[in-house]
Amino acid sequence: MKSTVYNPFETARQQFDHAADLLELDNTTRELLRTPMREYHFNIPVRMDDGTKKIFRGFRIQHNDARGPAKGGVRFHPLETIDTVRALSMWMSWKTAVADIPLGGGKGGVICDPHHLSNSEQEQLCRGWVRQIVRNLGPNIDIPSPDIMTNAQHMLWMLDEYETIMGGHFPGFITGKPTGLGGSLGKKESTGYGVIIAIREALNELGLKAANTVASVQGYGNVARYAIELYQKMGGKVICVSCWDEEDHKTCAFRKKDGIITEELDSISDVFGGIDKHKARDMGYELFSGNEWLSQEVDILIPAALENQITMDNVNNIRDSVKLIAEGANGPVSPDADKILADKGIFMIPDFLANAGGAISSYFEQVQSNMNYYWEKDEVLGKLDVKMTSAYAAVSDFAKENKLSMRDSAYVISIDRVAQACRERGWV
């Protein structure tokens, strides 16, 4: 069967158009919000360890900053495309709005595969990325953060480059920094924990207890890892995870019917969330092709790897046992597959609500950085819970009042907030 190719920006625009129709948004506001405010495309030269020079392509897109400085991650990925970055920047605008934090939406990326780059090459990429757009970044302009295959070390190199050029300390320039160097406690857990806080609220509505549920997770990176941690603390059981297998260049799923053990998998995984399959097999995990994470007999599915993972090609592999899907990743479900899931009666927590915890804790980190006063971890996680719970309640209440899906409700609330800020500023 020929698989369908999805363009994430087309998906993001289709979702936007649908919500704009529901909101009866005027044409000028639609035009403003359908297209990013600003795009930067640039080359980053890097001296490779073998002495040769290589040019990498980098991007930064600021979709909308009417509600505050643009905010969003920087991804390092070999298959990065400008349309993926555009879609992700738009989703960031909706995410900061639905979480009701005073920030806009942005996203960045570099086409590269850090698996095959030394530390020195990665450092040059980070510094080069900042140098190309330094005047268009800053605590009051645009605040980057980590995303796929970027981490606290990358953020620190970027911060150091920014501070060297600008002369001074600007820890509010970037989030996801190492703790002790401007990072916030609780930051690394925040996206995954936020996904589970949203699941906790959804399970309450569905009359289910986490302790009586079983889940399968796509990914074993930052989002997936901490989602699993909090879900297990609440008594839930995860029987399957999947990840990219760099050795065979395909995905691989790992199953333990009694429940996966994070301490075991942590001891055999790399910084990119890849799990060593040979060691996993020795530890008693069953190994399958990567798509198998989707066809497990579970109550909850958490796609927490990449966009476009549940599509018309595989949506019918989802078992009837599944009651809830929480989109940990951005855009993991295609719009046509989304309709089938709704027809099946599966409750969906949409991406920019489910994974808003990362943006919320980034905001907390920026506040702490700007004050130069840092909160205890419990305080950060407590504030995260308050923000996630109230964002979830607003979306759920509006959905019920207006007979909308959770996705439509989240879109209508957030687009309305951004549109209102644009109107009040006199942009439309």
**What is the contact surface with ligand NAD in residues (CB under 6 A)?**
147-149, 191, 218-224, 242-244, 251, 272-274, 290, 304-306, 328-330, 355, 358
| Residue from 288, 306, 147, 287 nearest 218 by CA | 306
Residue 13 CA to residue 89 CA, distance in Å, equals: 12
For residues 267, 269, 273, 275, the Cα torsion angle rounded to the nearest 10 degrees is -130
Select which of 95, 107, 177, 187 is catalytic.
Answer: 107
Whole-number Cα distances in Å, 110 to 60, 150, 157, 227: 9, 10, 15, 26
Complex with ligand NAD: residue 105 or 273, whichever CB lies closer: 273
* Helix/strand/coil percentages in the chain, nearest 5: 50, 20, 30
107 counts as catalytic: yes
Question: Which residue type sits at 113?
Answer: D
Complex with ligand NAD: residue 244 or 422, whichever CB lies closer: 244
For the chain, count helices (H), then strands (E).
Answer: 14, 12
Residue sitting closest to ligand NAD (CB): 221
Residues forming beta bridges with residue 348, ordered by sequence position = 325
Give min distance, CB of 151 to ligand NAD, in A. Answer: 8
Complex with ligand NAD: residue 91 or 404, whichever CB lies closer: 91
Residue 127 CA to residue 164 CA, distance in Å, equals: 10
Give min distance, CB of 75 to ligand NAD, in A. Answer: 7
Q: Are strands 250-255 and 105-111 parallel, antiparallel or unpaired?
A: unpaired
Residue 150 CA to residue 75 CA, distance in Å, equals: 6
Residue 177 CA to residue 151 CA, distance in Å, equals: 8
Under DSSP, the state recorded for 183 is: B
Over its C-alpha atoms, the chain yields an Rg (Å, rounded) of: 21
Give min distance, CB of 362 to ligand NAD, in A. Answer: 8
Whole-number Cα distances in Å, 360 to 208, 303, 380, 385: 27, 20, 10, 10
The answer to whether 133 and 158 are in contact (CB under 8 A) is no
Give min distance, CB of 31 to ligand NAD, in A. Answer: 27
Complex with ligand NAD: residue 35 or 314, whichever CB lies closer: 314
Question: Which residue type sits at 329?
Answer: A
Whole-number Cα distances in Å, 320 to 148, 299, 344: 31, 9, 8
Residues forming beta bridges with residue 53, ordered by sequence position = 47
Give min distance, CB of 386 to ligand NAD, in A. Answer: 19
Complex with ligand NAD: residue 118 or 289, whichever CB lies closer: 289
Residue 88 CA to residue 67 CA, distance in Å, equals: 17
Angle, vertex CA 99, rays to CA 93 and CA 104, nearest 5: 25
Angle, vertex CA 150, rays to CA 111 and CA 277, nearest 5: 95
Complex with ligand NAD: residue 315 or 404, whichever CB lies closer: 315
Complex with ligand NAD: residue 64 or 309, whichever CB lies closer: 309
Strands (E), 219-280: 237-245, 250-255
Give min distance, CB of 385 to ligand NAD, in A. Answer: 17
Complex with ligand NAD: residue 329 or 422, whichever CB lies closer: 329
Active centre residues (catalytic)? 107
